[in-house]
Amino acid sequence: MLSAKDFAPPDEKCISIIQKLRWKDGVRCIYCDSGVVVKKGKDKRGFQRYLCRGCGRSFNDGTNTIFDKSKLEIWEWFYLIKESRSRSLYSIALDLGRKYEHVWRNAKKMKEYLLAKKIASKLRGDVEVDETYVTAGEKGKRQGRLGGG
Ligand SMILES: [Zn+2]
């Protein structure tokens, strides 16, 4: 019989998707932003672990994400993310054999996380626009000052 797991990518595939999205510009330390980071084996869930040569701290693919310290398995997160777009959390909980409250709490966490991500990227965009504006404004002022003597 097919189970929910048959409709989710295998963990290795999920992890490679996470890595592509998270480290698209190369792995950088999540604490000090150093690019001098070495691979240090894998954790129990299969996430790649990294050691930062800059600050000496270590982290993995899931650190500071919804996958961090979560009781849901990685494929369950992918199942939840995919299925919650079109189906009720109640039926997803049944598929996963999880308590509804547990799935609901994680779905809430996921939505907050995605919203925070969206806000962050929106702010980044706005800050870039602001910087261009400010830089242009300062140039204008400087020229004005020079022009004015
Ligand atoms: Zn570091």
CA 19 to ligand 1 center in whole angstroms = 18
What integer pLDDT is reported at residue 129 of this predicted model? 57
CB 80: neighbour CB atoms within 10 A?
23
State percent of the chain over pLDDT 70. 84
Mean pLDDT score, 125-139: 56
CA 57 to ligand 1 center in whole angstroms = 6
CA 141 to ligand 1 center in whole angstroms = 39
CA 31 to ligand 1 center in whole angstroms = 5
CA 64 to ligand 1 center in whole angstroms = 14
